Structure 1
């Protein structure tokens, strides 16, 4: 399968082994859930009955006062008492092996190519760090919602895109499945494509 470069109109032959696979929805879902789980801090913490400050002494005698029986000032029933099922710091990481991760990325890229949402350029450069320059360039290409993948973060491109909520810049080493499916189009240069082709073997 060929993809035509937008700037030079040349044809690039797509590697059938890596980028023309069937879309594995269950695998992609599993990878995305695992990726989002890793973003969770898991640092929430509360104090249980044994951890809150306060005396362990019985506040009043068991019988004869007319009041409800109580054994501790730190009871979860009381104001400033401990939490019954206190949350503790935890890790939400789900184990995903490298082979599964690569297969999921191959599946996503394959679907992008089939839907003609992958846009290739020989060169994609912004001369100045001006948002208007990038906006006008994307407007000419009729592209609104786009993830731009570069070999390394270009300062001009990054500064031009940082105020555009429908445009995101990522280096090829930071590509993640959530970003790939969050944007309508994915734009990259031929060099980036070749780098991905090698890394996803």
Structure 2
């Protein structure tokens, strides 16, 4: 099969050329069950779904038992808001829910192609160059143009491009005409109307398909472009003083940086001096990692205790100070971690 060809008519009803309806869009197979499924899903998604009824637990009142359980001769009841009472709750009533159904995009597109193909095979697809000639909106002129193109306009769907402002304004008061943007064309609206009228711009946009995200490019209006140019011109003037102010700031910051470096270096030098001083034993006390011969008593400054080689914790103790005798350790203010046996026996 070849593409369908229809006449293009202008706003005055005169022939202005021909337009081709692609076979893939307007001569596809019409799958009735598929169209039915898509339309049902579309109408279901349009439902508001805010309906709600109150159960016996939500109805006001009914907290007290109407009468006692036995002795009255009447049926037993526990609440006046039971579903069998007037004014009671509703059983299995509607609650808020979402009616939308998941319909694959390919199914939606196939249903739309089938509906358009059915209208095209019946000769109910028309193309008009423009709805209204000129820049002045006119509902009367728009209806006259549609009548000249499609005849009876009691149930007609007009597909417009979003940039055709005059056509939108002209058709907004037409009660029997349903105007729709080309990117909102759907199966239900095609089936709900007997005739489909495309403008030349809308047909070209529909055949071209939706624009991909990668190729889409935003176009600024003239006012936005002027505003952007003003911002660009003002930017260098605003940055120039800042550049001048940064130079003195760096000069002032230089002495502070040198002072901080000197302060950091001072403790390191003091530590080196102290390490050198601690390298030699003083009064039986040695501070260092490798004690000389005879300095085998470990001292821990945090606990203030010393450990002799026969102490049970000697091997697990990390020595911070070494002593050559217990007298030197006690003279430095340390106490024995393990009391002598004589003292333990006295206790």
Tell me the TM-score normalized by structure 1: 0.88
Deviation at 1:143, TM superposition (A): 3.8
Partner of 2:49: 42
Q: What are the superposed Cα offsets for residues 149-171 of structure 1, whole Å, 9 maximum, x if unpaired?
A: 11116444334323333211111
Q: What are the superposed Cα offsets for residues 75-125 of structure 1, whole Å, 9 maximum, x if unpaired?
A: 112232111222211111111010000111111111121111110123333
Partner of 1:177: 187
1:157 equivalenced with 2:170 (yes/no): no
Structure 1 segments (4+ residues) deviating >4 Å: none
Q: What are the superposed Cα offsets for residues 135-189 of structure 1, whole Å, 9 maximum, x if unpaired?
A: 2223333241321111116444334323333211111122121111111211112
Query: CA 1:158–1:124 in structure 2 vs 1: closer, same or farther (change >3 Å)?
Result: closer
Match of 2:146 among 138, 143, 149: 138
- The 1-side partners of 2:22 and 2:109 are apart by 15
- The 2-side partners of 1:154 and 1:14 are apart by 21
Secondary structure of the corresponding residue to residue 10 of structure 1: strand
- The 1-side partners of 2:69 and 2:148 are apart by 82
- The 2-side partners of 1:169 and 1:126 are apart by 18
- The 2-side partners of 1:193 and 1:140 are apart by 19
1:69 equivalenced with 2:76 (yes/no): yes
Total equivalences in the alignment: 200
- The 1-side partners of 2:71 and 2:105 are apart by 68
Deviation at 1:134, TM superposition (A): 2.0
Q: Give the root-mean-square deviation of aligned CA atoms.
A: 2.0
* Maintained 8 Å contact 1:74/1:81: yes
- The 1-side partners of 2:166 and 2:5 are apart by 30
Partner of 2:253: none
Query: CA 1:174–1:27 in structure 2 vs 1: closer, same or farther (change >3 Å)?
Result: same
Query: CA 1:190–1:162 in structure 2 vs 1: closer, same or farther (change >3 Å)?
Result: closer
Matches within 5 A, 1:99-138: 99-125=106-132, 127=134, 128-138=136-146
Match of 2:25 among 15, 18, 25: 18
Deviation at 1:55, TM superposition (A): 4.2
Match of 1:91 among 55, 76, 98: 98
Q: Which has the higher contact order (CA 8 A, sep 6+)?
A: 1
Query: CA 1:187–1:21 in structure 2 vs 1: closer, same or farther (change >3 Å)?
Result: same
Q: What are the superposed Cα offsets for residues 6-58 of structure 1, whole Å, 9 maximum, x if unpaired?
A: 23442223322232112111111111111111111111001111222224332
Partner of 2:204: 194
1:5 equivalenced with 2:8 (yes/no): yes
Q: Which moved more, 1:24-33 or 1:136-145?
A: 136-145
Say which structure is richer in helix: 2
